Amino acid sequence: MKQKSGLTRFSNCLILRDSKIIKEDLWIRDGVIVNPEHVFYVEQSEADVTVNCNNFLIAPGYIDIQVNGGWGIDFSYDTENVEAGIQKVAKELLAHGVTSFCPTMVTSDKEKYHKILPQIKKVPGSKAGATVLGVHLEGPFISPSKKGAHVDEFIMTLNKGLETVLEIYGSLDNVKIITLAPELPGALDAIKGLTQMGIRVAVGHSSASLAQGEEAIKNGANLITHLFNAMLPFHHRDPGLVGLLASTTASQIYYGIISDGIHTHPAALRIACRTNPEGVVLVSDAVAAQGLADGQYRIGPQSVTVEAGRAYVSGTNVLCGSTSAIDACVRTFKQATDCSLEYALEAASLHPAKSLGIDDKKGRLNFNCDADFVILNPKTLEVNSTWIAGECVYKKDN
């Protein structure tokens, strides 16, 4: 056998691949997962480095498509230190198994968008932090009656459709997802145009009927933002956006869901994943208080009070995002639904990758996919280490 530079073998491990946990080694080269059969029989090479995983579980890295901030950083507020704020959160997320994420901006004024958006670059992951996939813009094109923690003053209509979107946001070069209310005049034109530009459209913060939701899906939308929250409650004569889970539309509908033990009742989690198992996408919806103690924070122009780990708009009982990271959401989801370990992990990796159309490279441990993964204790699901492009970017102290 001859050595070939750059080949790493992860041995004595379990691997999540194709919705099954198997006992198999994982081989990495040049940041990509490789087929060991080709290594053995064609190249006749052996690994330069072997990593003993001590029977831990290797799963695809978590992909969080809705992160408002954390560790004191709010992505919607500070216009002067945007890049430093993104870098801080991206670095901290590594300890929670997150290898890719979408920084999220809530409803803001036009000036904020024009100043902040150009500074949130799409950046590949490294030891400096998780991959920045692109911004998730949540608002300002939402229903005032379902605003949640969003500020009335900046909520806007979509009368000119895509033209209004471009005018308010400015450049969309760094944008990956836009959440809007599909019942607004001009929304379908915006959805169609944004989809043609390669931007994913989510419906949310909305009082839309099921029929209006289905029209949005037919025009290109494929996501629902934080299911059950900030939308009409399910009703048997018109189930609203919740009804999209059982819709007969041709395309798969994905839905973000906050399984932090606060935003969504365990029974609601079970109803959602049993109705549309392929569509569930676990999101943290974490705010600036993520990773920090109770106290005073903010989300965009709103003041936030965190008490016992619950984030409220100050002076109210309105929830405004979570304080939990995605690894905690995975554990809560598994416990609440009694689902398989494989399913819980894929809900935070493969499913979000599919919702963004990047599952050819991310969210899987298949050959030729990016070597973005997390090594977990298979019993507790605690993160032992996080790897991006085959490089260890975080390791637990012990």
What residues act catalytically?
A: 285
Both structure tokens of 305: 């009070």
Using CB atoms within 10 A of its CB, is residue 305 exposed (0-12), middle (13-18) or buried (19+)?
A: middle
Q: Rounded to 5 degrees, what are φ and ψ at 25?
A: -75, 155
CA 119 to CA 131: how far, in whole Å?
15
Contact 86, 120 (CB under 8 A): yes
What pairing do the DSSP bridges indicate for beta strands 302-307 and 383-388? unpaired
Q: What is the DSSP letter of 40?
A: I
**What is the end-to-end Cα distance of the chain in Å, rounded?**
35
CA 85 to CA 384: how far, in whole Å?
25
Residues making up the binding site: 138, 149, 205, 226, 229-230, 237, 263, 319-321
Angle at 363 between CA 359 and CA 369, to 5 degrees: 70
Q: Which of 101, 59, 80, 124 is nearest to 290 (CA)?
A: 101
DSSP SS3 for 166: helix
Four-residue CA torsion sign, 361, 365, 366, 369: positive
Roughly what angle, to the nearest 10 degrees, separates helices 187-196 and 162-169? 70
Residues making up the binding site for substrate: 149, 229-230, 237, 263, 319-321
CA 132 to CA 13: how far, in whole Å?
28
CA 296 to CA 156: how far, in whole Å?
28
Taking the CA atoms of residue 361, residue 366, residue 372 and residue 373 in that order, the dihedral angle to the nearest 10 degrees is 150
Residues making up the binding site for Zn(2+): 138, 205, 226
Contact 130, 90 (CB under 8 A): yes
